[in-house]
Structure 1
Amino acid sequence: MKKQVMVLSAVLGVASLGWASDKTPKEAATDRLDNAAAVLHAVMDAPDKGVPQEVMDHAKCVAVVPHMVKGGFVFGAEGGRGVATCRTANGWSAPAFFSIEGGSWGLQIGVEGIDLVMIFQNDKGMQHLLESKFKVGGDASAAAGPVGRHASANTDWKMDAEILTYSRAKGAFAGLTLNGAAVHEDKDSMAAVYGPDVNERSVLTGKVPPPASSHAFLAAVRGAKAEASAAHD
């Protein structure tokens, strides 16, 4: 068991080198926003296998981690950086930047890059995101999200989970069990985009105007809900 943990740590350590880049923090943050927008477009291009309309209708916040590095043997681990936006009285907020790491995927083999989508379904889940640091499945209850045109056949997702989690790998989109992962503010990216004195709460509550670099991502979030609705008309 100890050997497996050591091997997993080594593999993820090598994989994490892929995060290194010659780009400035602001350029890297802009790329992340564009990649997150592409993930949402890909998800909604296949409505029969994407996030159901009911889930999008109830979403308080939407978070995307494009190309998260995951690995797993008996234990699992993952790491990545994402963007999130929340509903406000004036529409979707400017995006906040966060990091995610640790946690368990259960019995999985190998390492690969996946796209992670987290849908925050109620005010309690949103508050965890606003606190800038929480643990999935610990501080905030989470469950694998339903996939398909309708989620109404199974109402458990609406009653039990603060966060619904999804993964997309090799074109396939599915609910994901993600327990024990720590989510916290990506202060470097926040400072690069908004300046040193802006925090995640002020951004997600609509007190900060969205930067021009976020327009594609926010349009994708708005479009994801519209496309989900259109697919059910």
Structure 2
Amino acid sequence: MVVAVTIPAMAADKAKLDERLTDSQNIINEIMATPDKAIPSSILGGASCVVVIPAYKKGAFIVGAQYGQGVATCRTGHGWSAPVFVQLTGGSVGFQIGGQSTDLVLVAMNQNGLQHMLANKFKIGADAAAAAGPVGRNAQAGTDWKLNAEFLTYSRSKGLFAGINLDGTVLSQNIDDTREFYGTATPFKTILNGNIPTPPDARPFVGTVAKYFIATHNK
């Protein structure tokens, strides 16, 4: 009886993670479908890691509450890594948007951002400098973002896509979901460094990231 109860529960959890991957894939496709309002090519080409937090529903934004669950992948020497599962919590200042459904995208722009992603937890704006990301073909970010911003942050609400201030939020690994998806508590660093093959269920998401986040040059 224990086995009969446990297996369906595990399957339900896995289905939920697959849905999160699909939602994240769809978010990227929908954002990039309108180039004039999408992430600029200069940012796509220079990204080290990409984090997608699919929408939270109305009423979810409460001080101290968990904002959402998402997935992340990082660029490696042989393509984009298998995904890890993350969570974003805390820091409601600048994020009270009337409880509307919102998608979040965070883009690590340099080696410092990558190193924060390889750790298991960091605070945006304190441990890792962040800036609201620009949008559109010819959009320009702030004058010093290339030097100082480790992450560019974006939100999409009611179809509008724009940079957002996420200072004070904490991005951390979701160990339970990662264990559920991979069958073992594989370290984040091992996965994001590209040392674990991408599971079949995750290939559409990783492939979509690779489709748009194409390196403009090799260093």
Give TM-score scaled by structure 2 length: 0.86
Contact map agreement 2:134 2:141 (CA 8 A) in 1: no
Q: Is 1:122 the equivalent of 2:92?
A: no
The answer to whether the 8 Å contact 1:97/1:186 transfers is yes
The question of 1:191 aligning with 2:179 is answered: yes
How far residue 187 of structure 1 moved from its aligned partner, in angstroms, is: 1.1
1:210 Cα shift?
A: 0.5
Query: One-letter code of the match for 2:82?
Result: A
Mapping of residues 1-233 of structure 1, within 5 Å: 24-68=12-56, 71=61, 79-106=67-94, 108-152=96-140, 154-225=142-213
Structure 1 distance, partners of 2:93, 2:28, is: 22
Secondary structure of 1:110 counterpart = coil
Partners in 2 of 1:159 and 1:168 — Cα distance?
26
Question: Does the CA contact (< 8 Å) of 1:55 and 1:151 recur in 2?
Answer: no
Letter in 1 for 2:115: Q
The number of aligned residues is 206
Q: TM-score, normalised by structure 1?
A: 0.81
What is the CA–CA distance in structure 2 between the aligned matches of 1:27 and 1:162, rounded to whole Å? Answer: 33
Instruction: For residue 109 of structure 1, report the CA deviation from its aligned partner.
Output: 4.9
Structure 2 residues not aligned, in runs of 5+: 1-8
User: Aligned-pair distance for 1:224?
Assistant: 2.0
Name the CA shift for 1:24/1:127 in 2 (closer, same or farther; >3 Å): same
SS at match of 2:61: strand
Deviation at 1:71, TM superposition (A): 2.8
Change (3 A) 1:142 1:153: closer
Report if the CA contact (8 A) 2:131-2:145 is conserved: yes
Taking only the aligned residue pairs, the percentage that are identical comes to 43
Cα distance in 2 for partners of 1:181, 1:108 equals 13
CA contact (8 A) 2:95 2:166 kept: no
- Relative to structure 1, is the Cα distance of residues 23 and 224 closer, same or farther in structure 2, using a 3 angstrom cutoff? same
Unaligned runs of 5+ in 1: 1-20
In 2, Cα distance between the equivalents of 1:23 and 1:110?
34
What letter matches 1:197 in structure 2?
Answer: A
Report the 3-state secondary structure (helix = DSSP H, G, I; strand = E; otherwise coil) of the residue aligned with 1:158.
helix
- Aligned residue for 1:94, secondary structure, equals coil
Q: 1:43, 1:173 within 8 Å by CA — same for their partners in 2? A: yes
Task: Give structure 1 regions of 4+ aligned residues with deviation exceeding 6 angstroms.
Answer: none
Alpha carbons of 1:79 and 1:23: their partners in 2 closer, same or farther (altered >3 Å)? farther
